[in-house]
Amino acid sequence: MLARRGRFLLLIVGDGIREGVEGMTEFLQQHAGFHFTLAFVEIALFKTHGGYIAQPRVLARTRNIDRGIVTVEEGRIVIGPPSAGQSPDGSRGKPTTITQELYFEKLEKEFPGVSQRLSAFLDDLAMYNVRSDFGSESLILRWSPDNGRDWNLGTISKHGLLWTELLGQKANSSGLLELHKQFLEKLSKLVPGAYVKETPKESAWYVTLNGKQSITADAILATEAGRKGWVRAITEFQAAVMNGSPDE
């Protein structure tokens, strides 16, 4: 699939690669039809008595370089300058990885337009030290407080389903299961008709809209109030975790 779409990872590796990097980037801008992820790697060589030591240094993070827009004007193909348009996730001029793009593409098939709303939500969470851990099949909202315990605040599948079981397990093992229940209750109030599905295993409770499956991220992010409410529920959960007790 990636090969058919012309997507691949391009690594430029060498010594002294800093010189001329801008020139290479400008050259790549001329090829608007290519859609690849680019990374620069410099390898420093050190001679020892037994041979050589190679030390790789990544000079530029892997990202998509905006190469321009191809348009058809009066029957002519025109390659314009780099676009100020949107990335697949709805962001403007924001570096993305191929994995991130694949995830958003799959999500868009289920819920057209959700990527832009989800991207805005992730930007809000970034201010509260919540990382967006992308895979091609799912997105994990990951938080690592100062005490070093890593929390999965929710996993959003490529089908848009919100899974919170791992959060429940972590809260249960930390003696904070009530925090998980409170968090789910707050999420359920963001979507009309949603409620907390109680299962025999309390740490596995989840929010549902129809009683058959987990609620979707699209249902929560459908309104600005839903997005802000989700962010607020997460920040209140974070504060309660740091405090070590459920909200009063």
Q: Is 110:159 a contact under the CB 8 Å cutoff? A: yes
pTM: 0.66
Residue 205 and residue 165 in contact, taking contact as beta carbons nearer than 8 Å: no
The residue ranges of every structural domain in the chain are 9-79, 98-243
One pLDDT digit (tens) per residue for the chain, 248 residues: 444 555 666 777 776 665 556 566 555 555 555 556 666 777 777 778 878 888 777 655 444 544 455 555 666 655 554 444 445 555 544 556 778 888 998 899 999 999 999 999 999 999 999 999 998 789 999 998 866 678 999 999 999 999 999 999 999 999 999 999 999 999 999 999 999 999 999 999 999 988 777 899 999 999 999 999 999 999 999 999 988 765 54
Distances (CA, A) of 7 to 23, 31, 40, 101, 217: 22, 13, 17, 11, 28
Single-letter code of the amino acid located at 71: T
